[in-house]
Amino acid sequence: MTQLNEHQSDVLVIGSGAAGLTIALNLAKQCKVILVSKSKLSEGSTYYAQGGIAAVFDDNDTVEAHIRDTKIAGGGLCEDKGVRHTIENSKEAILWLIKNGVSFDRDLDRDDEGTEYHLTREGGHSHRRILHTADATGKEIQLTLQQQALTHPNITVLERYNAVDLLTTQKFGEGSNRVLGAYVWNRDIEHVETIKAKSVVLATGGCSKVYQYTSNPDVSSGDGIAMAWRAGCRVANMEFNQFHPTCLYHPDARNFLLTEALRGEGAILRRPDGSRFMPDFDERAELAPRDIVAQAIDFEIKRLGVDCMYLDITHKPTEFVIKHFPTIYHRCLELGIDITEQPIPVVPAAHYTCGGVMIDLDGKTDVDGLYAVGEVSYTGLHGANRLASNSLLECIVYARSASEHIIANIESISLPETLPAWDESQVSNSDEEVVIAHNWHELRLFMWDYVGIVRTNKRLERALRRCQMLQQEIQEYYSNFRVSNNLLELRNLVQVAELIIRSAMDRKESRGLHFNTDYPTKEDHPKPTILTPDSF
């Protein structure tokens, strides 16, 4: 193995969004860090997060109220320790962001010259507690933190590197299961390299790309969940994938999200004939949690046989709309929609993975030295449905607690002496890329049709059969041809699809984001759905 093919560091962080950048910056005070990004550094869900980040900054609000709202939205499946850990540390986490240069909007209407932050409200929140930067909060957090990471002497950034698989002692026949590093594919030279590390952090985001329609960027392909599963980690609550109620319905902007804050500031959902429908489904109307709003829109679209519903904020002053939602206003205007004068066509789209790799309060997984932070993880915070703007918060809080645990233990861990190089001696270049394209389309289509907002036992059984057939084809393809970006993502997505389907089949009720018409009622004592490797 040549030196060019091998890297080493104290900690390898896979993923470059809010979670990955936060943990890298906290670790870099005492550790050497390699930060791997599959695409360019900013190309992840954080950059596109519009709404904001939730915490108690209002004197009339309380931590207990935030906890209560989170549990209500979570449909009785939130775990108290995960909820409390996140929310009790929320203000400190946001103050850390502010200290590191993140700029949130101020309330300029206050008499004290705007020394306080402007707080907005989103569905499921009983108070205004969302700090934001207009409607581009994630962009502000991403660009601020990544600039620091790029200039930090203890952080090495590797852009355009796909993580292929984790390397663990168990894979080499040893009794314990400790992570040793990872194989990564250098997209620019199309070559697999090795990274040795004392600890590895998965901050790879979610897996909503498993669905045909999603608000997520292309990189959200479940890589971390699939790699952790193959390495021996349990996963939980994979059946709960949040469908954001309001994704722009337009052929030239299929991934463009319309933030929850629009409804928080008074936007109304209407049928094509202009009539309002959310009060028919929930007394909270447009401010109901996302699962209720998404199901209502899906129901009305199917009942009426139409393509979309409409989100209307035209009753608000033009200046107000442009000031609070400049990104949405200008993007829609580019597409010929003036949101100050026209309702916006919307449909639900796969948005957020509420389950993931099981971790404790320090971010530790079932594999020694392996941590998971952010959307890739299951902390118990979200339960059966994520409360709006708790996701960025979870990233920062758990990244900080995980970094503390890693730093406290890093000196007792030794780097592995040698790791085997990637072997390509038995594979060749593929001359049938159409196989990948076909399987990719088939996977996302049957997941949308059979494992979407509304499910049935028969749909889930059909989905599992098709998934297993695809797995066999993809594994055969993976074994015989050199890797590519599409092949690596497809391999991970089909694994994650199986986990979602099996989790959905295990839950014999309807709750939160999981609605099965064969089990329409709720169980009295619900528990998380936990899957263990080698259990099927």
Point out the residues that are catalytic: 290
Point out which residues pair with 191 in neighbouring strands: 186
The CA-CA-CA angle for residues 511, 449, 390, to 5°, reads 45
Tell me which DSSP letter residue 213 carries. Answer: S
One-letter amino acid of 204: T
The CA-CA-CA angle for residues 457, 463, 466, to 5°, reads 145
Ramachandran area for residue 352 (φ above 0: left; ψ -120 to 50: alpha; else beta): beta
The Cα–Cα gap between 268 and 343 comes to 9
Point out which residues pair with 33 in neighbouring strands: 11, 155
The Cα–Cα gap between 517 and 508 comes to 10
Q: Which helix (H) or strand (E) holds 163?
A: strand 161-168
The Cα–Cα gap between 4 and 62 comes to 53
- Residue pair 311/256 in contact by the 8 Å Cβ criterion: no
Q: What are the distances in angstroms from CA 298 to CA 164, 311, 455?
A: 36, 14, 13
For the chain, give the longest Cα–Cα distance.
72
| CB half-sphere exposure, 98, CA atoms < 13 A | 15
For 30-82, give the DSSP string. TS-EEEEESSSTT-SHHHH--S-EE---STT--HHHHHHHHHHHTTT---HHH
